[in-house]
């Protein structure tokens, strides 16, 4: 069970990432889109085993929006492929503000999402087959760079069918 505070991207960026998901699927590479049809392109600011949606909404409502640049491709251990979000002072300040508010609201998050440890990214696939990692990376590089405006946010826990939009975010 994983709950996340997700930032959602503008229509243009969302379409480009969904097109990338489809291109990978056509090549036999599973994408985040096929993992769960409710997934949408996003950047997660925080994650935990569980999050109280009401507490998170109360902690982050009214935080100003962002523009993100995705300029590189990365991977995590376990065959996770992602588009890397370029780190800026604005992004780090935004992330720090959100985590200060979450902490003040009693919301606990995983260490790897805390300020100073977080790797800002947009997940493309959670399970790229090892022999397909090279072609998958090349396909991702073909669509970069990508600029995206954050147009919304929500709490998503797909395993438990929980989705809570955060109104007033961005």
Cβ neighbours, 10 Å, residue 67: 12
Q: Report domain extents, the chain.
A: 3-166
Q: What are the angstrom distances between the C-alpha of 25 and each of 22, 64, 115, 123, 136?
A: 5, 35, 33, 15, 10
List pLDDT tens digits, range 122-153: 999 999 999 999 999 999 999 999 999 999 89
Residue of 95 and 105 predicted with greater confidence: 95
- The pTM of the full predicted model, rounded to 2 decimals, is 0.92
- Under CATH, which architecture does the 3-166 domain have? Alpha-Beta Complex (3.90)
Q: CA angle, corner 125, sides to 163 and 152, nearest 5?
A: 35
The closest alpha carbon to 160, from 9, 77, 48, belongs to: 48
Name the pLDDT band for 37 (thresholds 50, 70, 90).
low
Least confident of 48-52, 82-86, 113-117, 129-133: 48-52
């Amino acid at each position: 069970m994983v709950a996340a505070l997700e930032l959602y991207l503008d229509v243009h960026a969302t379409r480009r990432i969904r097109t990338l998901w489809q291109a990978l699927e056509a090549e036999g590479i599973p994408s985040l889109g096929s993992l769960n049809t409710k997934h949408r392109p996003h950047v997660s600011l925080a994650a935990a085993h569980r999050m109280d949606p009401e507490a998170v909404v109360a902690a982050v409502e009214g935080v100003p929006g962002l523009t993100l640049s995705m300029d590189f491709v990365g991977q995590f251990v376990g065959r996770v492929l992602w588009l890397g979000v370029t780190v800026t002072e604005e992004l780090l300040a935004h992330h720090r503000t959100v985590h200060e508010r979450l902490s003040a609201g009693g919301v606990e998050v995983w260490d790897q999402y805390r300020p100073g440890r977080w790797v800002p990214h947009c997940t493309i696939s959670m399970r790229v087959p090892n022999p397909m990692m090279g072609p998958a990376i090349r396909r991702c590089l073909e669509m970069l760079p990508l600029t995206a405006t954050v147009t919304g946010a929500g709490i998503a826990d797909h395993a438990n069918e929980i989705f809570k939009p955060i109104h007033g975010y961005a």
